[in-house]
Every structure is written in C-alpha cells, then in structure tokens.
C-alpha cells in the first residue's frame, strides 16, 4: 500500500526481456534504499513492483507480461515516479494507493493557471466511471484531487512543487499515463451490483 506522495524520481536504467515479461533495473539514487530489503514493494510510476535486488542507488524488479500490456512507463531511459511502501507509522499525506493500475489515460491538455498547471486527462470508459469531482486519483502514482469531470475527461490542478518533484512536469498533450482510481469506488460499485442474490 502507498500514499501517492512521490519521494524520488528515478529512471529505467535497463530492460531485459524474460520469458514472463521483463526484468528492469531502476536507477533510484534519491529513494533512500540503504535500509531496503529484497522482497519489499516499490511503486514505479504507480505500479507496485517487488524488488528482487537492491543497492544504495537502485533496484531490480520483474515486470509481468500482463503488467507491461496494461501500463506505461517501462521503456529504457524513461523517468519514473518512485515511492516505497507505506509503513504504519507514516503520515498519510495523499490517499491509499494500491499500486494496481486500472488503465492507461491520455493527456488532453495542460494550461497554466497562475503558478499552477491544469491538466485535462482522458480516461478509458471502464476507469472513468470511478472518477468523481473532489475524489482522489493516482496519476503515474501521484495522489491528486479531481477538479472537474466531463464524460471520460477529468481535470486536476497541479502545484509547482508536485510538477518539480514528479515526472508530471514533463507531460505534454498526447502523453500516456497510468491511472488508479480510488479503491473505495471499486468496492462501492461491487456492493451496488452484487445485491442480495445468493
């Protein structure tokens, strides 16, 4: 489990195809892995991965074919938003993020709003139904608040600090991003559709 508060930007330093997908090396000198342990979960662009090797400046992880199929951000040289798993003693500054990406969205536009930037994203239909005004959304693993919703499009207002501390500042129209809807919305939908059937 994660908070959506990115603690470092790394990059995909190597990608090696495997029978099950790919093994990646993530260069992460600012992530603070001196106490890292093999087997711990680390979110990479919002995708929960298991570290199979750790050093002070990065880690290796296996990415399954399914994960590669339904997410973005694992090409060699790409920037990666990074967050280590939540500890019970940590502050929950964002919202609860599972690292299980619901789908890939696309940047429709990015416009300055004073010092901030308002991004409009298009979500896939099966993800858009979970997005609500004032609700939470994780974009490339970053916890954000939804400002407006219009059919399958939604907007977020991003402050300068978030743009500087994540890879969102490099996004332009047409770029693809990983989206994870608020977990609560998925459970509410399941409850509503389950009914009283045996």
Q: pLDDT, tens digit, for every residue of 46-65?
A: 999 999 999 999 999 999 99
Residue 128: which pLDDT band, with cuts at 50, 70 and 90?
very high
What is the pLDDT at residue 173? 97
Share of the chain above pLDDT 90, in %: 85
Q: pLDDT, tens digit, for every residue of 131-185?
A: 999 999 999 999 999 999 999 999 999 999 999 999 999 999 999 999 999 888 8
Residue 198: which pLDDT band, with cuts at 50, 70 and 90?
low
Reported as type and span, the H/E element at residue 116 is strand 116-122
What is the pLDDT at residue 158? 97
Task: Choose between 194 and 139: higher pLDDT.
Answer: 139
Specify whether the CB–CB gap between 40 and 72 falls below 8 A. no
* CB environment 2-24: b (16+ within 10 A), e (fewer): bbbbbebbbbbbebeeeeebbbb
Share of the chain above pLDDT 70, in %: 98
Rounded to whole angstroms, what are the CA distances from 86 to 2, 30, 186? 5, 17, 21
Residue 170: CB atoms within 10 Å: 11
Residue range(s) occupied by CATH 2.40.30.20 in the chain: 8-84, 103-192
What is the pLDDT at residue 197? 59
pLDDT at 196 > cutoff 80: no
Considering only CA atoms, which of 45, 77, 41 is closest in space to residue 61?
Answer: 41
Tokens matching residue 85: 């798993």
Q: Is 168 exposed, middle or buried (0-12, 13-18, 19+ CB in 10 A)?
A: buried
What is the pLDDT at residue 150? 96
* CB environment 116-137: b (16+ within 10 A), e (fewer): ebbbbbbbeeebbebbeeebbb
CATH class of the domain at 8-84: mainly beta
**103-192: what fold?**
Elongation Factor Tu (Ef-tu); domain 3 (2.40.30)
Give the C-alpha separation, 197 to 86, whole Å: 37
Give the C-alpha separation, 43 to 48, whole Å: 4
pLDDT at 9 > cutoff 90: yes
Place of tokens 């090696």: 16
Residue 99: which pLDDT band, with cuts at 50, 70 and 90?
very high
Q: pLDDT, tens digit, for every residue of 112-125?
A: 999 999 999 999 99
Give the C-alpha separation, 83 to 143, whole Å: 11
pLDDT at 105 > cutoff 90: yes
- Mean pLDDT, range 69-76, rounded to an integer: 97
């Amino acid at each position: 489990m994660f908070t959506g508060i990115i603690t470092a930007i790394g990059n995909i330093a190597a990608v090696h195809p495997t029978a099950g997908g790919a093994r990646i090396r993530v260069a992460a000198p600012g992530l603070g892995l001196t106490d890292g342990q093999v087997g711990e979960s680390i979110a990479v662009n919002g995708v929960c991965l298991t570290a199979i090797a750790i050093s002070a400046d990065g880690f290796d992880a296996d990415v399954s074919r399914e994960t590669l199929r339904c997410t973005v951000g694992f090409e060699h040289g790409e920037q990666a938003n990074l967050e280590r798993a939540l500890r019970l003693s940590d502050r929950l500054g964002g919202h609860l993020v599972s690292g299980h990406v619901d789908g890939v969205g696309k940047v429709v536009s990015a416009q300055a709003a004073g010092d901030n930037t308002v991004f409009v994203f298009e979500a896939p239909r099966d993800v858009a139904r979970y997005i609500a005004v004032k609700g939470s959304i994780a974009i490339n693993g970053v916890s954000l608040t939804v400002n407006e919703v219009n059919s399958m499009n939604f907007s977020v207002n991003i402050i300068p600090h978030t743009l500087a501390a994540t890879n969102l500042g490099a996004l332009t129209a047409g770029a693809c991003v990983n989206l994870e809807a608020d977990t609560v919305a998925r459970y509410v939908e399941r409850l509503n559709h389950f009914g009283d059937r045996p």
